[in-house]
Amino acid sequence: MSSAKKLHVTLSTLAARCGVSVMTASRALRPGTEVSSATRAAVMAAAKELGYRADPFLSVLVNYRRNLRTPRRAATIAYVTNYPANTDWMSWTSYGGYFRGAGRRANELGYGIEEFSLRGAGKPRRAEEVLRHRGYAGAILAPTLGARGHSRLSLRELPVVTLGHSLRIPRLHHAAMNFYHGMGELLHRLKRVGYRRPGFVGEAELVARNEHRMAAAFLAWQGAAGGGLEKVPPCVLPRAEMETGVAEWYRRWRPDVVVGADLLPAALLERAGVDFPRDAGFACANLSVGDDPRFCGMLNDYALVGASALELLHGLILRDEKGVPRTPFGLHVDMSWHKGLTAPGKGQRNPSEAPR
């Protein structure tokens, strides 16, 4: 039979072939639904044999109609935090930016969004009861305060994503800044303007929060850069050792440009008497809007990451995908270059000091 005359296999065709209802066949094709393992195996085998393909637009419509039968609150997203009550996280550039970006995108897609504080809800089991009672459409787990966070929440009944890489257990779909690519782009730009001895500096907890992606990209770039590049060992220290350790590292290795995981190394080195860019260049791998504009580096957009997390979650809601995924995936947002004044090029004058 020619492909043009092949029978169009519908869900009804599949159900009839297996001797089950259309609803049962539909459940068997969706992960995480309640159906016997034997029925699921039979339906999946028949779908493969007959060449069944779900209609993506129909699937979205079915899930939308199902949600219409639930209370209006089902269109609200829980933004789940676990911060002490006196933590003003909304004022932080990163955490506040995530929330505001997610909120704006939620509003554009027709959702409401509200903070759900685990500290306020009590023990995990109690928090799960409250989450279930409120009937949220889905949840975004905010970044943890520590670099190796974990959650004991049972997430089986909710579509859920997280932000960044600080939550290690469970592994969830996530949206994050693309620090690995950003570091590569930064080093490429520095090499292009003549720097040959870049040195990476970062506070250990910050470096660990993004799964060492900045440090890994720096080391990979050093290994691949080839001749003419002098390798300076990275300086990654606990916060308590940064004050003296960074200055000692700089005096020993004399990099021609310092690459900071944030702006703390610049502040410490300037306090120790280093002048940027007269003594060395400085470029930051993690600049935020509102930082001192004189510093060069990669500029992040936390609001865009928050919006991206909301879009990931929206897709899970439409597909009715709940709980911890078998194979998590991430959406990584690229950073943009901010030229600044602190890394004009090897031997170049600071533009602000140019003759008039």
What digits encode the pLDDT tens for the residues 48-63?
888 887 665 455 555 5
Position 102 confidence tier, pLDDT thresholds 50, 70, 90: very high
Q: Where is 54: in which H helix or E strand?
A: none
> Tell me: the pLDDT tens digits for 137-167?
999 999 998 888 888 888 888 999 999 999 9
* Phi, psi dihedrals of residue 324, rounded to the nearest 5°: -75, 125
Residues 209 and 346 in one domain: yes
What is the distance between the alpha carbons of residues 78 and 127, in angstroms, rounded to a whole number?
12
Region class of 68: left (phi > 0), else alpha (psi between -120 and 50), else beta: alpha
pTM attached to this predicted model: 0.78
Question: Per the domain annotation, does 251 fall within a domain?
Answer: yes
Q: Pairing mode, if any, of strands 112-117 and 296-299?
A: unpaired
**Which range of residues forms the domain containing residue 22?**
3-54
Q: How many domains does the chain have?
A: 3
Take residue 296 and report the two structure tokens written for it.
């060069």
Residue 356 lies inside a defined structural domain of this protein: no
Tell whether 162 and 244 lie within a shared domain: no
Is 236 within a domain?
yes
Q: Is residue 12 part of a domain?
A: yes
* Claim to verify: residue 247 and residue 326 sit in the same structural domain: no
Instruction: Give the helix ranges, DSSP H, for 69-203.
Output: 93-109, 118-121, 124-134, 179-192
Average pLDDT over residues 126-140: 89
Q: Report how far residue 283's alpha carbon sits from residue 1's, in angstroms, rounded to the nearest whole number.
A: 65
Residues 288 and 267 in one domain: yes
Q: What kind and span of H or E run contains 160? A: strand 160-163
Same domain, yes or no, for 161 and 186? no
CATH number, domain of 294, equals 3.40.50.2300
Query: 225-274 pLDDT, tens per residue?
Result: 765 678 999 999 999 999 999 999 999 999 999 999 999 999 999 999 99
pLDDT of residue 2: 42
Shared domain check, 110 and 127 = yes
